Amino acid sequence: MKREEERYGYALITPSMIVVFGIIIIPIITTLVYSFVNIDPLSSHNGEFAGLGFYQKALTSSAFWEDLGRTLYFTVASTAIETAFGLMIALLLNEEFPGVRFLRSIVIIPWAIPTVVNGSLWKLMLNGEYGVINAILMRLHLIDAYQSWLGNPSTAMLCIIVADAWKMTPLAVIFFLAALQGIDQTRYEAARVDGAGAFRSFFAITLPAIKPTIMVIIVMRTVEKFKAFDIFYLMTRGGPANSTKTLMYDTYLQAFTNLNYSEAATLAYLIVLVVVLMTIIYIRMMKRGDER
């Protein structure tokens, strides 16, 4: 009986395993090999075993640490913005006031817009010569002259963070709304009877109740941000003056522009390392959530 149960289980997962591992297993191992053996078509050391040479080269180059710094800046800033605004918007939409049902149904729209469309939409609005954002800021007298927001190394990354936050904050809103609606309303009434104000009930009831959701959003979004590529490709392609070149974008450049396959493979594995760490944290948190 037990053997039969096992066979049934394996039979049902077999199609998935073929589809997933059939595609993944060879490339993921080969990439690892590439990071140890020089396969760069333009290198004079082509075919030589490099040991940890590529890792050493990456970790001691200033370009890597600059990439990492920009990646962390983007990751931390946009995750923080999405979580904070997501929570505030969810708190607003959890109240009852005229128009709230309309707002609840439209707030998800930016999330549904494809990433590439989002990138070109913001690029169009931020255009330095005839962008609508320049036109509006001029009319409000917030700027004296049209600015090339994406052409300026000190504002380009900020623009990408804003564009990304516009699309992805709704995801946080949806998660937080679901969590807020799961809170027992009688607890708020009890708190009110005890004389607690809005702030007291927020910190005593709301925040502890949605803390697991906050943690899940932060970890989930951090992993996604760390791997972000599409919006960078669309809006700045790593420029101007490398100001938006992240680890992921550099990996792409090394692989498909500079044809440094081994260096790209090494960077890719360093990204994998971070993703694995984040995944472990994520799973730990989910497990703890289940035990409660």
Question: Between residue 172 and residue 191, which ones bind other proteins under the rule CB under 8 A?
Answer: 174-175, 178-179, 182
Q: Omega into 114 within 30° of 0, i.e. cis?
A: no
Q: Which is nearer to other proteins, 53 or 110 (CB)?
A: 110
Q: Which is nearer to other proteins, 28 or 84 (CB)?
A: 28
Say whether residue 15 binds other proteins (CB under 8 A). yes
The H-assigned helical ranges of the chain are: 2-34, 53-60, 62-93, 100-106, 109-112, 115-125, 132-139, 156-181, 185-193, 198-201, 207-226, 230-235, 247-256, 261-291
Q: Single out the segment in contact with other proteins by CB under 8 A; choices: 44-52, 56-64, 115-123, 148-156.
A: 115-123
Binder among 123, 156, 245, 246 for other proteins (CB under 8 A): 123
Q: Which is nearer to other proteins, 161 or 265 (CB)?
A: 265
Q: Single out the segment in contact with other proteins by CB under 8 A; choices: 19-27, 52-60, 63-71, 149-157.
A: 19-27
The four Cα atoms 173, 174, 176, 182 give a dihedral, to 10 degrees, of: 150
Say whether residue 213 binds other proteins (CB under 8 A). yes
Binder among 63, 76, 84, 132 for other proteins (CB under 8 A): 132
The CB-based long-range contact list for 111-114 (8 Å cut-off, 24+ gap) reads 111/167, 111/168, 111/170, 111/171, 111/174, 113/167
CA 253 – CA 127 distance, rounded (Å): 25
Say whether residue 10 binds other proteins (CB under 8 A). yes
Say whether residue 161 binds other proteins (CB under 8 A). no
Q: Single out the segment in contact with other proteins by CB under 8 A; choices: 42-50, 147-155, 163-171, 185-193.
A: 163-171
CA 227 – CA 270 distance, rounded (Å): 11
Rounded to the nearest whole angstrom, what is the least distance from the CB of residue 155 to other proteins in the complex?
18
Q: Count the neighbouring beta carbons within 10 Å of the beta carbon of residue 119.
A: 22
Say whether residue 283 binds other proteins (CB under 8 A). yes
Q: Which is nearer to other proteins, 243 or 260 (CB)?
A: 260
Say whether residue 97 binds other proteins (CB under 8 A). yes
216-255 residues in contact with other proteins (CB under 8 A) are: 216-217, 220, 223, 227, 229-230, 233-234, 248, 251-252, 255
CA 258 – CA 263 distance, rounded (Å): 10
Contact 235, 150 (CB under 8 A): yes
Q: What binding mask, one character per residue, do residues 24-43 give for other proteins by CB under 8 A, x or -? A: x-xxx-xx--x---------
In sequence order, the 6+-apart residues with CB closer than 8 A to the CB of 60 are none
Question: Position of tokens 């100001």?
Answer: 243
Contact 34, 242 (CB under 8 A): no
DSSP code for 49: B
Beta bridge partners of 49: 37
Rounded to the nearest whole angstrom, what is the least distance from the CB of residue 235 to other proteins in the complex?
9
By CB under 8 A, how many residues form the interface with other proteins?
Answer: 99
Say whether residue 208 binds other proteins (CB under 8 A). no
Say whether residue 268 binds other proteins (CB under 8 A). yes
Binder among 66, 72, 73, 110 for other proteins (CB under 8 A): 110
